[in-house]
């Protein structure tokens, strides 16, 4: 099996979210064009187990989604809550975290299916655009769709 066939098989079989994150990695397209299997494998590993698995955006989403299941589960819930808050605070200053949370809430609150192409690229990035910048992109998309 050639390097090209291995890369093709790897990319074809992987989860769509993982593929989108790899596609957004710097140098991915150059590595793909040159069939650099080692570089693509490294990017895959970084996305799956390395950096990018726990961004401020993912931690913010986890925090918003947290709910206590039963009265008896409160101690476990409180521990999980505290750990999630600790993780969130590790991403920067209060202002940086607030900005990231606003950007996260905006991105996950807009119509996911309608803006799927744009949002897939956003979710694959380590740094998401400010909500005003994303809003401008979504407005452009909406206007161009209406013209058709």
Average pLDDT over residues 92-116: 94
Write out pLDDT tens, residues 31-69. Answer: 899 998 888 888 888 777 654 456 888 889 999 999 999
CB 108 within 8 A of CB 80: no
Angle between helices 116-124 and 131-147 in degrees, nearest 10: 150
Examine the pLDDT at 138 and tell me if it is beyond 80: yes
Q: What is the pLDDT of residue 112?
A: 92
Write out pLDDT tens, residues 100-110. Answer: 999 999 999 99
Q: What is the pLDDT of residue 111?
A: 95
Angle between helices 131-147 and 94-109 in degrees, nearest 10: 20
Examine the pLDDT at 147 and tell me if it is beyond 80: no
CB atoms within 10 A of CB 117: 8
102: left (phi > 0), else alpha (psi -120 to 50), else beta?
A: alpha
Q: What is the pLDDT of residue 130?
A: 97
Q: What is the pLDDT of residue 148?
A: 62
Average pLDDT over residues 88-109: 94
The overall pTM is greater than 0.75: no
């Amino acid at each position: 099996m050639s390097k090209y066939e291995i890369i093709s098989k790897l990319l074809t079989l992987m989860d769509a979210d993982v593929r989108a994150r790899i596609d957004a990695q710097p140098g991915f397209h150059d590595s793909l064009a040159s069939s650099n299997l080692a570089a693509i494998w490294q990017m895959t590993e970084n996305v799956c187990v390395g950096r990018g698995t726990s961004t401020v955006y993912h931690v913010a989403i986890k925090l918003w989604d947290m709910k206590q299941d039963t009265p008896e589960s409160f101690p476990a819930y409180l521990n999980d809550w505290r750990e999630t808050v600790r993780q969130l605070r590790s991403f920067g200053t209060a202002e940086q975290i607030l900005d990231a949370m606003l950007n996260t809430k905006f991105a996950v609150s807009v119509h996911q299916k309608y803006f799927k192409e744009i949002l897939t690229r956003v979710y694959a990035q380590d740094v998401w655009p400010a909500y005003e910048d994303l809003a401008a992109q979504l407005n452009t998309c909406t206007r161009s769709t209406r013209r058709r």
